[in-house]
Amino acid sequence: MFQSRKFKGGVAPVLFAASLIAMTAATTSGAQAGQCLLGGGIKHVVHLQFDNVHLRRDNPNVPSDLEQMPNLLNFLTKNGTVSGNHYTGLISHTAVDLVTGMTGLYADRNGIPVSNSYRVFDASGHPTGSHSDFIYWTTKDVTDGSPVLLDNNGKNAPAPWVSFTRAGCDVGAFSVADIDFETLPGDIATVFGTSSTQYANVVAQLASSVAKTKAKPTADWIGVAVHCAQGSPRCAAGGPDALPDEAGGYTGFNALFGNIDVQPAISPSGPVKALDGSVIADSYGNPGFPGFNPTASQSLGYVATMLEAGIPVVCLYCADARQPRPHLGHELHFRSWRSSLCGAE
């Protein structure tokens, strides 16, 4: 079964790719550079995502996934608000639900309604090959030239960080679907262009016969981003955060993409470290994004560094709930750090 660019909506009563959210609406007026204005006196917002973690019980007689992880559930309920008023779209799948959780838009409004990939009908009416849903937000499909993240008006779906950056708040992301780079060199081309130095360097490294060098672009560029408010000094050295289809316009905003640019802004003294004190790095020792199944220690360590560097809004993904880690035992053990992490405070 494949999905076309014509969508049919639907909702599922059970969370499949769970997005546990502690968010509040940002105010949209009176923001100044360095002044983050969040409603209700909120100072920090943390958006924490897991894949295939159920809040509700599938069987009323069997504890849900979260009930079987009491340390995690108790931590969330103690430090934040856990809401069950969140429904994923049919057919439920990882990319679909993660993007739905971030945007608040069901799948028939965000362009990736069925699975982790899609197909497009070409001019002759034949479906093309599989295209990944895991791409950067403004990427356009090579077949029809339309945004992959497509709204029902044929425009790029609204980006989830905009309400915060317009309110003067920088937004950090670690291993979160589509608001940071997902594919190389394609996402580099989308943001920087194929004639850029960044693109040339990444292409050369990907062509290397040395495994560590070939892997370095992923550690440098994938999975990490900071979208900044207008005038934020944090992104002064970054590139334009272009959202040409954003309602009301979106100009004068910059962003940092990849650990290569984010790390100097949040950890100028050296590589970002996990909660256990180890450097966050790939299997070859390249500092930066460790891969698409980061441990809780890595994900929480990276966003803790963002928060402590003054970034008030962060989004992160933890893979532990679906990635077997026998040496950690059956229970997720999330350490609390310098202040409450899992909740708006």
Instruction: Tell me: pLDDT of 26 over 70.
Output: no
The SS3 call for residue 20 is strand
For residue 100, give the 3-state DSSP assignment.
helix
H or E element in which residue 163 lies: helix 162-165
> Where does the pLDDT of residue 309 fall: very low under 50, low under 70, confident under 90, or very high at 90 and above?
very high
Contact yes or no for 212/205 (Cβ under 8 A):
no
Each residue's pLDDT tens digit, 277-303: 999 999 999 999 999 889 889 999 999
Average of pLDDT values for 317-335? 51
User: Are the CB atoms for 184 and 325 separated by under 8 Å?
Assistant: no
Confidence of residue 320 (pLDDT cuts 50, 70, 90): low
Report, as an integer, the average pLDDT of 222-247.
94
More confident residue, 253 or 342: 253
Model pLDDT for residues 179-196, shown as the tens digit of each residue = 999 999 999 999 999 999
Percent of the chain with pLDDT over 90: 44
Cα–Cα distance for residue pair 257/192, rounded to 1 Å: 10
User: Which is nearest to 304 in space by CA: 344, 259, 341?
Assistant: 341
Mean pLDDT of 228-251: 92
Does residue 25 carry a pLDDT above 80? no
Is pLDDT of 29 > 60? Answer: no
Confidence check: pLDDT of 307 > 90: yes
Q: How far apart are CA 314 and CA 262, in angstroms?
A: 13
Which tokens hold the place of 83? Answer: 């809401």
Hey, which residues does 316 pair with through a beta bridge?
A: 48, 174
Q: What is the pTM of this model?
A: 0.81
- pLDDT averaged over every residue in the chain: 80
Give DSSP secondary structure letters for 53-86: --SS-SSTTS--TTTT-HHHHHHHHHHS------
CA dihedral 125, 129, 133, 134 (to 10 degrees): -150
Q: Specify the length of the chain in residues.
A: 345
Which of 19 and 318 is assigned the larger pLDDT? 318
Asked if the model's pLDDT at residue 217 lies above 70, the reply is yes
pLDDT tens across 119-167, in order? Answer: 788 778 888 777 887 889 999 988 888 888 888 888 998 999 999 999 9
pLDDT at 340: 29
Residue 235, strand partner residues: none
**With bands split at pLDDT 50, 70 and 90, how would you rate the model's confidence at 86?**
low
Q: Are 213 and 202 in contact (CB under 8 A)?
A: no
